[in-house]
Structure 1
Amino acid sequence: MACQSVAVVMDEQALLGLNPNADARYRQRAIAYFEQLKESQDAWEVCAEALAKGIYSDDHVKFFCFQVLEHQIKFRHCSLSAVQQQLIRETLMKWLQFQLMNTQPEKAFIRNKAAQVFALTFVMEYMTLWPKFFFDILSLVGLNPHGVDIYLRTLMAIDAEVVDRDILHTPEETRRNTLIKDSMREQSIPSLVESWFQILQTYQQSHPELTCQCLEVVGAYVSWIDLNLIANDRFVNLLLSQMSMEELREEACDCLFEIVNKGMDPVDKTKLVESLCQVLQSAGFFNVEQEEDVDFLAKFSRLVNGMGQSLVLSWTKLAKTGNVKDAAETLQAVEAKVPLLLQLLVHEDDDISANIVGFCYEYLHVLKQLPQLTDQQKANIEAIMLAVMKKLTYDDEYNFENEGEDEAMFVEYRKQLKMLLDRLAQVSPELLLEAVRRVFTNTMQNWQTAPFMEVEVAIRLLYMLGEALPAAHGAHFSGDTAKTSALQDMMRTLVSCGVSSYQHTSVALEFFETVVRYDKFFIVEPQHIPGVLMAFLDQRGLRHNSPKVRSRVAYLFSRFIKTLHKHMNAFVEDILTRIQDLLELTPPENGFPALLTSDDQLFMFEAAGILIVNSESPVERKQALMRSLLTPLMDAFRLLLTKLPQETEEERQTALADCLSHAVGFASRTSKAFSNKQTVKQCGCTEVYRDCLQAFLPALSCPVQRSVLRSSVRSFLHRMIICMEEEVLPFVPAASEHMLKDCEAKDLQEFIPLISQITAKFKRQVSPFLQQIFMPLVLAIFEVLARPAEENDQTAALEKQMLRRSYFSFIQTIAGSGMNEVMANQGAENMERIVFTIIQGAVDFPDPIAQKTCFIILTKLVELWGGKDGMVGFPDFIYKHIVPACFLAPLKPTFDLSDAQTVLVLSECALTLKMIHLKRGLEFIQFLQQEYLPSLQVAPEISQELCQVLQQPDVKVLKNYIKVRVVVLSWFTAEFTCFISTNDLFLCQQAFFQRGKL
């Protein structure tokens, strides 16, 4: 044997490093030793010998030896000699023989690793070297429990390697696995099935853990073997008997589920499910109420779900093929399971109920397709409705203030129930509406004495109807009293019965959610608005004792106001008075907990702004109301801003800066109320917002917490550019000057969109300002980009990349806005420097997004300055720099045509060439043919071909040509001239491919 020729012994010092408690030095040595054994031609054989002879008792060493063997089989099996392959087989069988003699089994992690190695060997050798794999193992193992354990683990490992659909396989591995399964079916499966039966029968009393393992194996293999080998009297009777054994019943249930799930002919599947059901029913398993083991019932519910879904699938197939008789029988079988379905659906344990939802959903889908429903089917629908309504109910243990994992699971379960409710609405909207109406009305009549969960679910059902029912069935409010819908009746009851006073968090939240969902109701019946507004504003809503309720109600209140502001005119000032304390900026030294967080206050300020802007008050009154809303923010801002630089503690500085930022954010949020119909100017609020700008802009020069302050003020400026029109322009130069001082990459990157926004909106109005700020901004960008950074600092590299993109985007905005004088007036030297950065961006940086922008800019510059009456000297620049850029960019090794963004770069490159031809005409064609392309040693006929394509009117022709030809040509110089001159594109591409570039 090969191991006898190996004089090497294992490195005992290295093995010490396998112990989890070993120090780093020993661990490093163990890793190095592992790598050495993996790569050696034969040194690994010492591991085989150690396993075959049982030399080591240390678990970690044994596991190590299996890992080394695993690597040899997985990655080097083909390069092993026949003798070495034989050595592996013998090693595994000898190790297995040791297990049969041991009184104590190996640790589970070693048995699992051994099973993996057995499975890998099987996959490599079963079809060729070891066709008797299973025979050899079964002959050796017999019914020895230790051996059976390894055998079953190996079968599960083989399933993972060959069958498991969750594991991705290459096409070659898939073909191999198919051949292995075919061969196993032919040669081994009957013997394996017989061994499973013997194991299940032999060990069900003495070794339940082995029996459970075997049931798992049967469940895994049944999907692809002959079902008749398993679905027969002796096997099914055995499984059913094990369904009654406490330690086996869950695994037996899972095994039956896999049997039922197997793909089959629909008629045969119906027969299988029905025969199984009869036996289960006879054995008393359908008496769900008498079963106390909820874990088993959860498994049983999953089994029933599988049986039900299988029957529905069979019915669907039979109905599609027009097999009326068998379809009717299958539907009857489905209907017969509904009583059991209902028992499981309504079970108090949500896991048991959740496991049957799939079948319930599919059954309702069947009913939806039937032309007419029987009385029994209508009764089933009603029973499912009642079950869903009952199961939607919270239990006493639900923790509303501190939701954990259990609460999250119930929320997910509720989503499943909502799917059922939606499906019920599709099957019988009238029945659903009537059922909800009955539950809702009864509960609202007695809400004062009803438990919170009943009140909450009644309102919840009303809320859910909005999505479940189509508008044709009353999910709208017509205003026509003759057509008053059930939904309208229920909404009237909701807002008038006093349930908004119910003290439980869940009821309060559900009330406000429902009110806002059906806000259109108040357009039809506006008389209810005052009562609901009071609920929002008092201790039922914004002043509720639960922070969770207050927070959610703040958002819902803004939604309510946004929809119904036209009906709020009479209440505007009253509302503003009542929420005044909720609009106060809370400074950090306050010490009192605020009713609302700053995020919640944003919604309140937005609501206040909407009320003021959309009121019917005269302009002067709107201005006064907006000033009274914003002046406290400005006053507090000025006060806190003077305090900030005096603070020495960083934590205190951060708190003050956050507070200042909130103040700016609140003011900004009020501006969302303005629209094209109600502008700042029309509402008389220009002066108020101008005052805000004067109050906030000094924060830009604050020496501490600059990032937070600059960000908030910059966001405010963005809003003011949108809302204030040209009134904002006087503030922009000073703001820009402050923001360009001591910049970081991120500061500049965020500042550029502001200038781009101003440029795009005001165009020539800001031309003088842009001419003034252009070079300071560009120089600041250049300075930041030139700063050295650590080689591996990915964050800094990304920030520079994003800044570079923003810079090019800014130049694009300037050029695209028709303000070429902004760049033209920067002086020849500065202008040249800028255009060179565009050329550099187009060619040198492996960033296709930036490259695309650069080519767009170059096209625009050629359009502006490249004509006969363009900028002096620019035509020379085109020929010296822009034309080469169009050919050099695709020449870069990083230019990846498999990337969609890079393909777009190529298109823009083509457009640049097209624009040059448009502006320079024949002169450009002659330059290409006589100077530039010959300098690249491109054959004359190819030059002529390119120039002909350039002169065609359809730019798509040029884009396609460049994609398939110019990129290739630009790579080939003298060494490929022979290919190019033959005009053989295939040979070009082949040569290109050999260079690794295509």
Structure 2
Amino acid sequence: MEEQLEQAVEIALNSNADYNLKQQAISFCNQIKDSPNGWQICIALFVSQPKRSTSVRFFALQVVDDALVKRLNGNEDLLDHNALNYIKGVLLSYLQREFNPQITGDSDAPYMENKLSQTVTYLFALTYLQSWPSFYDDILALSSIDGPLLSNSRGLLFFLRVLNSQHEEIADTLIRRSEGTAQRGIALKDAIRARDMTKLTNIWREILLRWGSREDGLVINESCLKVIGSWISWIDISLIVTPEYMNIIFSSLGNEPLRKSACDTLTEIVSKKMKPVDKLQLISLFNLPEVISQLPVGRDLEFDEKVARLSNAVSLDLVKIQDDQTNTGVRETASHLCQQILPFSISFLGNEYDDTASEVFPAISEYLSFLRKEKKRNNFLTPDRLALLTSILKTVVLKLKYDETMDFQNGSDESEAEFLEIRSRLRLFQDAIAAIDVDLFMDTVSGVVLDSLDGTKRDWREIELGLYELNAFIDGLRNASAMPSKSNPATKAVEILNTMLLKMISSNILSLNHPAINLFYLELIVKPTKFLDSNPQLIPQILNTFVSAVGIHSSFLHVQLRSWFLFYRFIKLNKLLIGDISETALTAISDLLVITAEIPQSNDNDSDVSTDSGSSNFEGRLYLFEVSGLLISIDAVSDEKQLVLLKNILNPIFADMERNLPRALEDPLSALQVHHDIMALGTFARGVADGGKTVNEQVREQFLLAGRAILVTLETLSRLDIVREASRFAFARMVPILEYHILPEIPTLVSRLLVESSTSELIDFMSFLGQLVHNFKDQPGMFDMVNSLLGPLLTRIYYSLSISANGSTDEEIRQTDMKKAYLSFMLNLLNNGMGSVLVSRDNRQMLDSVIQSVAHYSSTTDDSSIKKMGSSIFPRLEEIRSRAL
């Protein structure tokens, strides 16, 4: 059987084996694994001589482990007491043979010994409490085979591997465990502490003493230090924190090969939970500020990270003690130690390597939180704490700068993305400092900004840092009015901000033509909404910048796309200040008002076209159409000029729709082009409506033509959902311009939209109609319009609601949303005096269906909003019916 299993494992792991034969081999291996005696076959296979192949033996251990784990999980039928004793005897015999230096043979690879240590750990968990109290003595004996105790390096290393494995099994807090497993771990730890802990800690100390100076003892010492560092969290710390023990650990810090492991161990010792007074005594006893100051940082990146982690652990504990303790003496002692250790954490915060800097983020965050509470309690900070706060801010600012090895890729490069992530976390520190001391924040940041704009800086990284900090300053203004300040914080902040913005606009930083600088410049022009109110003379200069190669005509695609939106925001926010230069601005962007649909390569063979096709470019261009509407609708533009400019924009769109309409059903690109044209019409209309100029009859007539063009398009392309979606969008945006003049067109729109509409489209369309009813309820044509379209609309709604959700969660959500939209539409009719349309000659036969549907939907749902609307609608419908009888 062993030979068959060996052969099956080899075939199963052979990538070149015949597929059918391989499947048979896998099936046979699984049968052995699942059989009641499979573990017996496998343990014999594992220990047999001569050794089988590594892959076969690894599989064999997996089967034994599986049986042991099942026993740990409560399956007592698979392994009884005798079976466990058998496995124990076989493994001990194997271990004594394997680690005997007198027996020649190939040693197992480290991963095999790790696997074996895991098996021994499972066996330990099953037997230590009842039948194997001598476990540690028996495993430690491997270190004395053919020599004195601790002399056999391979046996000793395996002993340490088992201890590390045991910690992971019963004590590692990062591993989630079931209640039963956790309770077993507690029982095992209690037993270890009672029976063997003193002995084990003495052995660890002896290992470090004996092997610390040996050239061949590095791995053993590293493993031993790792054991101490992991076990310290759940053992009596007094067993480790003794003069002799700590001298060994501190001397290991001075041993270059061991100092990383020693630093980790010291960090774990310091991090052990204990009473505040005891923790202070521990930190003072170790004189950790002095210890850290003498460590050789700056030579080894990995070691620097470990020292930073140690510094963070000490700082974090000291800050928490200051924050939590009411005992004045304890707080003062913690504060004194904190003043000594935090400078090291701040130094690591500014480390050029982000992994090292990140190690101290928890301590810095905790300290800033503590200072904020202290400032709130006392309304001031002591000079030493203010000095630390200042140091943190200066360090953060320097750390925010792009590294010299890094170039601006707008976050697309992996290393830059990692830097931007770190930068966002550092920014939180800076924002926290602004909330603690707004004067410190404003003075420091403004100094960085003004220095970067002094005209001598030609390194884009320095300028970008200044602009980044200017952006942070604007965001930080919200803290200025909330925090105490020596001066009026809001007034001071506005004065500083205006100074910095004026310096930026008058500087020559755009001459570098760097995408990061250009983009930040435009962002910052738009962000402070009140700046240009007091500096309107800057509008022409800023407009010229926006329409130049720096902005909307940039050769950097991501800058160009973003600047289209920023230009829209700039015009929208400052439309009252634009005045008679609006036509100049419109002329400057006219070359970009060209709609060109693009279908991504992946959609070339698709019959359906998504509105997402080429979306980033097209959606950005829509902002330019909205800007155009704003620019031609500013009061400074005469009616005659507005009409000319309006036609210059609308007529090319009409012509493009007419050109593409005949082939849109067969050509996806033409269909997408028509969709884009209609979306441009709607977006342009929104800009015209928001421009501020009163809409005259000539403008309204042009948009009536646009609405009719859309209806003609719908007549041909109503089965295309992207055209229906664009048509709803455009009509909704033209309502503020057309007002009640749009009502005669709505029945035609409804008839063409309802033919193919989906549930989500119906929901959107009911909302649109409800808004029309609310806006124009007093117009003479409104009743007739609602009366004519109600029947077809209700028929389509009931059909959609009659379709089963078929168990689909998404479909059930859509059905619920549909019911809400339907009831909301009915409530809208009633609230706006349109209830009589339900008993008109055209619709009275549907009244009973409406009443029944409202009663049904509100009584068969758990949704409270549907129930509430139904309870409001139902009695009013009954009243309408009773009056009509």
Superposition TM-score tier, normalisation by shorter sequence: 0.7 to 0.9
Q: Is 1:576 the equivalent of 2:605? A: no
- For residue 436 of structure 1, report the CA deviation from its aligned partner: 2.9
Change (3 A) 1:480 1:167: closer
How far has the Cα of 1:255 moved from its partner? 2.1
- In structure 1, the partner of 2:627 is 607
- Is 1:558 the counterpart of 2:556? The answer is no
Distance 1:397 1:677, change over 3 A: closer
Q: Deviations over 1:99-125 (max 9, x none)?
A: 424754434554444333333333344
In structure 2, the partner of 1:946 is none
Partner AA of 2:242 in structure 1 = N
Amino acid at match of 1:390: L
1:344-366 residue CA offsets vs partner (Å, 9 max, x unmatched): 33333333333334434444555
Q: Is the 8 A contact 2:717 2:723 kept in 1?
A: no
Aligned-pair CA distance for 1:307: 1.8
Q: 2:67 aligns with which of 64, 67, 72?
A: 72
Letter of the 2:424 partner, please give it. Answer: K
Aligned partner of 1:314 in structure 2 is 321
Q: CA deviation at 1:506?
A: 1.9
**Structure 2 match to 1:661:** 675
Tell me, yes or no, if structure 1 residue 117 matches structure 2 residue 124: no
Residues 868 and 528 of structure 1, relative CA distance in 2, 3 Å threshold: closer
CA distance in 2: counterparts of 1:840 and 1:28, whole angstroms: 57
Report the equivalent of 1:968: none
In 2, distance between residues paired with 1:225 and 1:515?
Answer: 60
Query: 1:510 & 1:735 partners in 2: Cα distance?
Result: 44
Written as runs of structure 1 = structure 2, the 5 A alignment for 1:16-35 is 16-21=10-15, 22-35=17-30
Aligned to 2:348: 344
Q: Which of the numbers 771, 777, 802 marks the counterpart of 2:796?
A: 777
Matched, 1:305 2:309: no
Q: Deviations over 1:183-237 (max 9, x none)?
A: 2222232233233334444555315344333333322222222222223333333
1:509/1:549 contact within 8 Å kept:
yes
The CA deviation at 1:801 is: 4.1
Unpaired stretches in structure 2, ≥5 consecutive residues = 145-149, 600-613, 775-782
Report how many residues are paired: 834
Does the C-alpha gap of structure 1 residues 283 and 813 become closer, same or farther in structure 2, counting only changes over 3 Å? closer
2:769 counterpart residue number: 758
The answer (yes or no) to whether the contact 1:613–1:622 under 8 Å persists in 2 is: yes
Q: Give runs of aligned pairs for residues 729-740 of structure 1, distance below 5 A.
A: 729-740=743-754
Amino acid at match of 2:305: A
Q: 1:534/1:203 Cα in 2 relative to 1: closer, same or farther (>3 Å)?
A: farther
SS state at 1:206 partner:
helix
Q: Kindly tell me: are residues 357 and 801 of structure 1, through their superposed partners in 2, closer, same or farther at Cα, counting changes over 3 Å?
A: closer
1:495-574 correspondence runs (5 A) = 495-574=505-584
The structural deviation recorded for 1:406 is: 1.1
2:130 to 128, 131, 134: 128
By how many angstroms is 1:482 displaced?
Answer: 10
Following the alignment from structure 1 to structure 2, what is the Cα–Cα distance between the partners of residues 11 and 282?
56
Question: Under a length normalisation based on structure 2, what TM-score does the superposition of the two structures give?
Answer: 0.82
Q: What is the CA RMSD across the aligned residues, in angstroms?
A: 4.2
1:303-336 CA-to-partner distances (Å, cap 9, x unmatched) read 212222222222333xx31323x42232222212
1:187 aligns with 2:195: yes
2:468 matched to 1:468?
Answer: no
CA distance in 2, matches of 1:248, 1:757: 73
Please list, as runs of the form range in 1=range in 2, the aligned pairs for 1:824-863 lying within 5 A after superposition.
853=866, 860-861=873-874
Taking the aligned partners of 2:797 and 2:365, their CA distance within structure 1 comes to: 63
- Report deviation, 1:411: 1.0
Partners in 2 of 1:342 and 1:601 — Cα distance? Answer: 46
Instruction: Please tell me whether the aligned partners of residues 771 and 823 of structure 1 are also in contact (alpha carbons under 8 angstroms).
Output: no
| Distance 1:622-1:193 versus aligned 2 partners, 3 A rule | farther
Distance 1:118-1:680 versus aligned 2 partners, 3 A rule: farther
Q: Is the counterpart of residue 715 in structure 1 residue 729 in structure 2?
A: yes
Q: Which amino acid aligns with 2:877?
A: L
Report how far residue 400 of structure 1 moved.
1.6
TM-score by length of 1: 0.74
Which residue identity is paired with 1:126?
Answer: Y
Give the secondary structure class of the aligned counterpart of 2:234: coil
One of 42, 47, 59 as aligned partner of 1:47? 42
Q: Deviations over 1:801-825 (max 9, x none)?
A: 4564455445434543445865998
Asked whether the 8 Å contact 1:583–1:604 carries over to 2, the reply is: yes
* Alignment partner of 1:196 is 2:215: no
Cα distance in 2, alignment partners of residues 534 and 67 from structure 1: 72
Q: Secondary structure at the match of 1:406?
A: helix
Structure 2 counterpart of 1:90: 89
Structure 1: distance between partners of 2:713 and 2:825: 28
Distance between the aligned counterparts of 1:474 and 1:616, measured in 2? 45
Q: Residues 27 and 713 (structure 1 numbering): CA distance in 2 closer, same or farther, change over 3 Å?
A: farther
8 Å Cα contact 2:635/2:693 also seen in 1 = no
The yes-or-no answer on 1:691 pairing with 2:705 is: yes
Runs of 4+ in 1 over 6 A off after TM superposition: 477-484, 674-677, 823-844
State how far apart, in whole Å, the 1-side matches of 2:847 and 2:274 are.
Answer: 76
Deviation of 1:296 (Å): 1.6
Deviations, residues 444-489 of structure 1 (Å, cap 9, x unaligned): 2234x432222222222222122335234899x9999999722222
Distance in structure 2 (CA, Å) of the matches to 1:820 and 1:195: 94
Identity %: 23
Q: Structure 2 CA distance, aligned partners of 1:167 and 1:375?
A: 44
Query: How far apart, in 2, do the equivalents of 1:615 and 1:441 lie?
Result: 38
* SS state at 1:521 partner: coil
Q: Which amino acid aligns with 1:660?
A: V
Q: Are 2:763 and 1:768 aligned?
A: no
Cα distance change, pair 450–759 in 1 and its aligned pair in 2 (3 A): closer
For residues 10 and 108 of structure 1, the distance between their equivalents in structure 2, rounded to whole angstroms, comes to 27
Whole-angstrom CA distance in 1 between matches of 2:283 and 2:534: 54
2:322·2:335 contact (CA, 8 Å) conserved in 1? yes
User: Once the 2 structures are TM-superposed, how far is the Cα of residue 517 of structure 1 from its aligned partner?
Assistant: 2.4
Residues 152 and 630 of structure 1: CA distance in aligned 2, closer, same or farther (over 3 Å): farther
CA distance in 2, matches of 1:481, 1:401: 37
Shift in CA distance, 20/497, structure 1 to aligned 2, threshold 3 Å: same
1:106 aligns with 2:114: no
* Counterparts of residues 620-631 of structure 1 (less than 5 Å): 622=642, 624-631=644-651
Tell me, yes or no, if structure 1 residue 170 matches structure 2 residue 165: no
What are the residue-to-residue correspondences of 1:246-395 with 2, within 5 Å? 246-277=256-287, 281=291, 284-285=294-295, 288=297, 291-317=298-324, 320-324=325-329, 326-368=330-372, 369=374, 371=378, 373=381, 377-395=385-403
Distance 1:829 1:800 in 2: 30
Unpaired stretches in structure 1, ≥5 consecutive residues:
1-6, 648-652, 873-998
Deviation of the 1:754 alpha carbon: 0.8
Question: What residue is the counterpart of 1:157 in the other structure?
Answer: 165
Q: Confirm whether residue 864 of structure 1 aligns to residue 883 of structure 2.
A: no
Shift of 1:407: 0.6
Structure 2 match to 1:920: none
Q: Which moved more, 1:712-721 or 1:370-379?
A: 370-379
Q: Is the 8 A contact 2:453 2:504 kept in 1?
A: yes
Distance (Å, rounded) in 2 between the aligned partners of 1:253 and 1:702 = 76
Question: What CA deviation, in whole Å up to 9, does each residue of 1:896-948 have, x standing for no partner?
Answer: xxxxxxxxxxxxxxxxxxxxxxxxxxxxxxxxxxxxxxxxxxxxxxxxxxxxx
